[in-house]
Structure 1
Amino acid sequence: HKKVKAIVIGASTGGPKVLFEIVRSLPKALNLPVFIVQHMPKGFTKSFAERLDSECALKVVEAEDNMDIRSGMVYVAPGDYHMVIEGEKLRLNQKPKLHGVRPAADYLFESAAVKYGKGLLAVILTGMGKDGASGMISIKDEGGYNLAQNKETCVVYGMPGFAVSSGVVDEILAPEEISEHILKIVKVKNGTGI
């Protein structure tokens, strides 16, 4: 595999539980940034980021406009804002909703594809609608790697289903397999001694 430089994750209905499972499994030694779009209303994403942070080895924050991107950090898009990557910074905007949602995973995925190219690992989790599929097409075009949650474990197999039917998903996995897969691809040993 090519060296992974960043991870992007998109989720909606049923996503928080799966995100906890995945992010909790990422060790402190994960020397790259992780960006998350979880469809949630304004006000909910801050407490969600704080809860994730309290249970994870990595530092989890709700993203702010113009925030510097650092390795070993997890950035959660705030409710009611799209989050995109520009150079070494995160930018937030209030462009119209995409697929009826803001934040939209597509905007994050597309900007990350441009920035990280072959070094991008993307994950699409349970959720209604088709957000993330077109972003995954961009990621594939740039040589990145796409994972989708399997139908059996999804609360709603909308977002992963659309991505899979677009033909751009490399692996379709259960949440615990997604965690293992990330660690394998990133080649981080999961243990307390790191």
Structure 2
Amino acid sequence: MAQAARKASTRKARTSPPQDEREPALFPVIGIGASAGGIAALQKFFPEVPADSGFAYVVIQHLHAEHESVLASIIQRSTAIETQTAAEGMEVEPDKIYVIPPGVSVTIQGQRFHMAKMAATRVKRTPIDDFFTSLAQEQSEQAAGLILSGTGSDGTIGLRAIKEHGGLTLAQAGAEYDGMMRSAVQSGMIDMV
């Protein structure tokens, strides 16, 4: 009996797809990129989101690497959805909001977060592009990218990847700081503003 179980287990292990060929999660994962003015936009956005949408939300906010972030607690005050700071290896689950910690570049693979310390401050940092690009590869049509208030162009390359993999791309209308939104819209890759 034990030998038969071992054979079945070995056969199952051989037929499991490699981690990079796994199916996307059965629920949508929404990446939300923000910078200057983003906290106010997030405080307006999340009260409108149903607590049982079945989606996972990942917030990538440009934050100074040296400062501890209280963004998760700020968002939690405006929503009933469980909000927490993402950590290395944490599994992404539906009906939760994850906030990316400062000073790291985060990707998603195998429905888990993976973090790498960001390069020196003189190098242009693009944490939104980094996450959106990995989200597109992981989730395909089950991915969505949303750009909120912010300056610069971070997020535009990642939105292109999401669009090319069949996902949904959105940008905030009337953003307090509209640089990131304008860059995204001018790319021609936005489904809805």
Is 1:10 the counterpart of 2:38? The answer is no
Report the equivalent of 1:159: 180
Report the equivalent of 2:147: 124
Q: Cα–Cα, structure 1 residues 109 and 156, in superposed 2: closer, same or farther, change >3 Å?
A: same
Cα distance in 2 for partners of 1:168, 1:68 equals: 29
Cα RMSD (Å): 2.0
- Picking from 112, 115, 119, the partner of 1:89 is 112
Return the offset for 1:30.
1.6
Q: How does 1:29-178 map to 2 (within 5 A)?
A: 29-42=52-65, 46-96=69-119, 100-101=124-125, 104-150=127-173, 153-172=174-193
- Give the conservation status (yes or no) of the 8 Å contact 2:118–2:125: no
Report the equivalent of 1:185: none
Cα distance in 2 for partners of 1:165, 1:90 equals: 30
Cα distance in 2 for partners of 1:4, 1:156 equals: 31
Q: What SS does the aligned partner of 1:24 have? A: helix
Return the offset for 1:130.
0.5
Cα distance in 2 for partners of 1:16, 1:53 equals: 12
Q: What SS does the aligned partner of 1:67 have? A: coil
| Structure index of larger Rg | 2
Q: Cα–Cα, structure 1 residues 42 and 84, in superposed 2: closer, same or farther, change >3 Å?
A: same
Q: Cα–Cα, structure 1 residues 4 and 95, in superposed 2: closer, same or farther, change >3 Å?
A: same
Deviates more, 1:134-143 or 1:46-55: 46-55
Cα distance in 1 for partners of 2:153, 2:27 equals: 25
Return the offset for 1:48.
1.3
Deviates more, 1:35-44 or 1:15-24: 35-44
Return the offset for 1:69.
1.1
What is the letter of the counterpart of residue 124 of structure 2?
G
Q: Greater relative contact order: 1 or 2 (C-alpha under 8 angstroms, separation 6 or more)?
A: 1
Q: Cα–Cα, structure 1 residues 97 and 6, in superposed 2: closer, same or farther, change >3 Å?
A: farther
Return the offset for 1:46.
3.4
Q: Give the TM-score normalised by structure 2.
A: 0.80
Q: Give the TM-score normalised by structure 1.
A: 0.80
Cα distance in 2 for partners of 1:46, 1:9 equals: 16
After the TM superposition, which segments of 4 or more aligned residues of structure 1 sit over 2 Å from their partners?
42-46, 95-102
What is the letter of the counterpart of residue 72 of structure 1?
D
Q: What SS does the aligned partner of 2:132 have? A: helix
Percent of residue pairs bearing the same amino acid type:
27
Report the equivalent of 2:48: 25
